[in-house]
Amino acid sequence: MKTLITLILVLNSLLLSSNDKYEVTFDGQTTKSEMFAKIEEAKLAGIDIKILYSSFTKEDKLSIIQFKAIATNIGEASTTVDFKNKNTCVGFFLDKSPEKNQPAFGVQDCKSQP
């Protein structure tokens, strides 16, 4: 399992290196292992996510999370999310598109995948 996650992260890093836009999302269906894999993936894209607090359901899915994310030399964002509502989703985005004067970084609500 660990090898599979490592392989996925390596493949994603190759894709991310050629992409100017990146978003990592978390919702109430995200498991603990998926959360840590997404955090590692985000790090490869230039977003350092620190977990300040987290709790999980009996099914090992996110219940409440408080995190802070930093995009080096761009900015930082933080939020606390309660995933009791199944449609709750939060994402950190980083946009370094050439058409932008300055890179954009922040946290936003997103649509949860059914």
Residue-level pLDDT at 61: 92
Question: Could you give the CA distance from residue 29 to residue 8 in angstroms, rounded to a whole number?
Answer: 19
Q: Is the pLDDT of residue 4 over 70?
A: no
Helix (H) or strand (E) segment spanning residue 9: helix 2-17
Look up the pTM and report it.
0.71
Question: Could you give the CA distance from residue 9 to residue 86 in angstroms, rounded to a whole number?
Answer: 27
Answer with the residue of higher pLDDT: 14 or 79. 79
Confirm if 44 and 64 have CB atoms less than 8 A apart: no
DSSP state at residue 99 = T
pLDDT digits (tens, 9 = 90+) for 44-66: 888 899 999 999 999 999 999 89
